[in-house]
Amino acid sequence: MIEVKNVTKAYGKKQHEFIALDDVSLAIDKGRSVAVIGKSGSGKSTLMHIMSGLDHPKSGSVLIDGQNIFELKQKQIDTFRAEKIGFIFQSFFLEGNETVADNVSLPLEIAHVPRSQRKERIQKALESVELSDKAKNKARNLSGGQRQRLVIARAIVNNPSIIFADEPTGNLDSQTGAKIEDLLFGLNKERGVTLVIVTHDDELAAKCDVQIRIKDGTIQSIDYAKELGDTSNKAKEGEPA
């Protein structure tokens, strides 16, 4: 369960201050898939960074399973991120000079996974994004779509319980995009992984349990699609970006 309570994020100081998130509150149940939708510059990435404890809000709190993550010690936040969270960043942050396998290995090394288990886990993660045959290639030599898939392999290799994905299918053709979507939703259904997907893609958003629309740093609407019930927060003009 992720609870965001009255989070305000400001960039810059005093007269140059820019409010990127304005008193945002929301709650995401464990095992849900959530889409964060909004125009470019609306604050989607900022929200994702704050929810994962990477960035600090000006005010407000983020509770994960009841624990305010901004009150944790740095060491605990690090361990929490290393063991529980998988990240797919909007810009990939791949190590172009390292092999595909070494890129996927990084989260495992950081989480102190013993060497004996790594190989198999890396293999499995690469298989699920259909990159096994590229394991020994340098990441720099991959195509755009292959890079996107590599980033996803890196995010899931740790068996995280929450995956934050910033535009995970942005660079993929519809067929490969669909495969990645299946993969992510598969993890969500079978292993109960909480999915937080930032996207422009309405089709992808529609596949999620919850759609959160933001505009100019404020929540426009939270739609509980499908059979999830509570739709009280529905707004009128939440339009996709």
Ligand X SMILES: Nc1ncnc2c1ncn2[C@@H]1O[C@H](COP(=O)(O)OP(=O)(O)OP(=O)(O)O)[C@@H](O)[C@H]1O
Q: Interface with Mg ion by CB under 5 A: which residues?
A: 45, 90
The two structure tokens encoding residue 35: 């889409």
Given another protein, Mg ion, ligand X, none, residue 40, with its beta carbon under 5 to 8 Å by kind, binds ligand X
Q: Which of 10, 19, 54, 241 binds another protein (CB under 8 A)?
A: 54
Contact 162, 85 (CB under 8 A): yes
Nearer to Mg ion, 90 or 176 (CB): 90
**CA geometry: angle 84, 90, 94, nearest 5 deg:** 75
Q: Does 112 bind another protein (CB under 8 A)?
A: yes
Asked whether position 80 contacts another protein by CB under 8 A, the answer is yes
Of the candidates 3, 78, 130, 216, which one interacts with another protein according to CB under 8 A? 78
Dist. CA 97–CA 221, nearest whole Å: 43
Smallest distance from another protein to CB 154, Å: 8
Nearest CA-CA partner of 182 in 160, 211, 149: 149
The 10 Å CB-count burial string (b at 16+, else e) for 143-166 is eeebbbbbbbbbbbbbbbbbbbbb
Distance CA 46, CA 62 (A): 13
Tell the smallest beta-carbon distance from residue 225 to ligand X (Å): 21
Q: Report, in Å, the least distance between residue 241 CB and ligand X.
A: 7
Find the shortest distance in angstroms from Cβ 78 to another protein. 4
Structure tokens that stand for 166 in this block: 């910033």
- Is 217 a residue that touches another protein (CB under 8 A)? no
Which residues make up the interface to ligand X (CB under 6 A)? Answer: 11-12, 18, 20, 38, 40-46, 90
